[in-house]
Chain A
Amino acid sequence: MATTNYKENFLNGIIKENPVFVLLLGCCPTLGVTSSAINGIGMGAATAFVLVMSNLAIALVKNVIPDKVRIPAFIVIIAAFVTVVQLLMEAYTPALNEQLGLFIPLIVVNCIVLGRAEAFASRNTVFASMLDGLGMGIGFTLALTLLGTIRELLGSLSVFGVKLVDADGMLVFILAPGAFITLGFIIAVMTWLKKRKPAHS
């Protein structure tokens, strides 16, 4: 019984309640750093780290935090982990750090993180919360990587940094409008797929 719950916990964030495509959270980095697949993966990984750690910490201390101050308390905890990520990336992945830029500290206001802290970690066990964080983090990373791969393929004619053809792609895709269009079409396709299979939940 408990095992089924854990599996559901974990997979929830990847498919059923995918933070980007279903819950429509975390849109800012989704649009902002997906001009290449690697950026998407990097951002997803950084966010996943914060999700797991902050869910863990919050589930640990949920019983000693008075109700009225819980949001600021959660925010401080999340901010601390985001700072850890900032420092680690500055030290060990400086190139990626430069690419992702402002969006790394902005993880602290990524609605997914605070959202999961409030909706899940503050009411569940430590282990379940960590799984939830991990699932959401992976779901987020997959979404970003999908978006990043499409944009990079169409916009720079390269995949994961490897140029396929020595020419310029459709520039619009690595620029701002391209992000909107790509996400819009992906969601449209997903909605269409969901509506086509009424037998599955």
Chain B
Amino acid sequence: MEYLVIIISTIFINNIVLAKFLGICPFLGVSKNTSTAVGMGGAVIFVMVISTIMTYLVQHYILIPLDIAYMQTVTYILVIAFLVQVVEIVLKKVSPDLYQALGVYLPLITTNCTILGVAILVIQNNFNLLESVIFAIGNSVGFTLAIALFSSLREQLDTADLPEYMQGIPAALITASILSMAFMGFAGLV
């Protein structure tokens, strides 16, 4: 039951993009086209779950026993960078189409604050491994949901007649704020 609460709160109530402000760069950058957005979301789900497991293990089996918890930032980002490299290589071989579609956005997952953010949050919230994995799944699905919704909104926005200075990013941001407000409505869910 606890696990269901984690899933619902990470996807809807404390949505990682719309409430926690992580992953804004890809949120604004990759959301012009819904299929690219969904592809990005899928990649994030994959990378986030695996990186959360790996960083969790690093924290509990290396950093804490050796009392070098201050190395968290350095080791975590190394793990994530390494993982993204591996994903790139694997994706190139297994699904060249998706690799092409994601293009430059794939290495950008390394600097995606959601990945590092979730890895750190899992430790701060004192989750065990299973809770961490569920938290990671929930957050990455929440990210995908937010980015997919947002990109379909933006596709609509592109057809609207807006004053010149509002076009593009300003309109997108204001749309994002309304989307964020909408998600705040999930507050009483759990």
Are the chains A and B members of one assembly?
Answer: yes
A177 engages B70 (CB within 8 Å)? no
A188 engages B81 (CB within 8 Å)? no
Q: Which of B77, B113, B120 contacts A28 (CB 8 A)?
A: B113
Work out how many contacts link A and B, with CB atoms closer than 8 A.
120
Q: How far is the CB of B113 from chain A (nearest CB, A)?
A: 5
Interface centre among B81, B115, B124, B177 (most CB of A within 10 A): B177
CB-contacts of A9-61 with B (<8 A): 24-25, 27-32
B188 in the interface (beta carbon within 8 A): no
**Interface 1/0 per residue, B1-37 and A, CB below 8 Å:** 0000000000000000011111111001000000000
Q: Indicate the size class of the contact surface on chain B.
A: 35 or more
B39 in the interface (beta carbon within 8 A): no
**Which residue numbers of A lie inside 8 Å of B, CB to CB?**
24-25, 27-32, 71-72, 75-76, 79-80, 82-83, 86-87, 102, 105-106, 108-111, 114, 172, 175-181, 183-185, 187-189, 191-192, 195
**Which residue numbers of B lie inside 8 Å of A, CB to CB?**
18-25, 28, 70-74, 77-78, 81-82, 107, 110-113, 115-117, 120-121, 124, 164-166, 169-174, 176-178, 180-181, 184
Q: List 15 A-B contacts (CB under 8 A).
A: A32-B21, A83-B73, A86-B70, A108-B77, A108-B116, A109-B115, A176-B177, A176-B184, A177-B181, A177-B184, A181-B174, A184-B169, A185-B170, A187-B170, A192-B165
